[in-house]
Amino acid sequence: MIYHISIAAQNPLRVAQVIAEVLKGQAFPFFPHPGSYMVFAMDEQGTAIEVYPLETKLIPGEGDGPCQFVQTNTANGMTATHAAISVPSSQEEIEEIGKREGWRVLRCNRDSFFDVIEFWLENKVMLELLTPDMAAQYMAVTNPENIKRIFMANPMLASV
């Protein structure tokens, strides 16, 4: 179970507010790192997304110390990091929010297994949003028996 993820954004407050709207949750300032925000879905799992300024990087701490926040000048915002997130919003609500923000929103099918809505925060960071119907599709495909059947059917995909 993934409880939270972190992403970087050019406008962390605005991105946090929009994510909170889609999740029907709430955004709060992230006190350990000023200018950052934490969005809580306000669900029973404690699902959250941390949104940092674009230039923020996490680096390992020294010795027994925790990770450290550092600022860099090299961030362009594009990343392979993304997350599939179940949301209570409908496709229509998601599309309206994306249109209002000027962000790319596109319903896609993932290899005939399940559908997602690509929701591109600031047109740089992708969240794969799953409406309740899409989440049910995803859960049916990814149950342990189906995963084994799908991947064992093709020796190239079998466990490494």
Neighbours of 121 (CB within 10 A): 26
Tens digit of each residue's pLDDT (9 = 90 or more) over 123-141: 999 999 999 999 999 999 9
112: left (phi over 0), alpha (psi -120 to 50) or beta: left
Secondary-structure class of domain 4-157 per CATH: alpha beta
Tens digit of each residue's pLDDT (9 = 90 or more) over 92-129: 999 999 999 999 999 999 988 899 999 999 999 999 99
Going by the DSSP 8-state scheme, the letter that residue 82 receives in this structure is: -
Domain spans, the chain:
4-157
Distance CA 19, CA 112 (A): 27
Distance CA 126, CA 134 (A): 17
pTM score, whole prediction: 0.84
Question: In the prediction, which pLDDT does 159 show?
Answer: 55
Helix (H, G, I), strand (E, B) or coil at 101: helix
Q: Which residue is listed with tokens 């090299």?
A: 74
* Average pLDDT value over all residues in the chain: 90
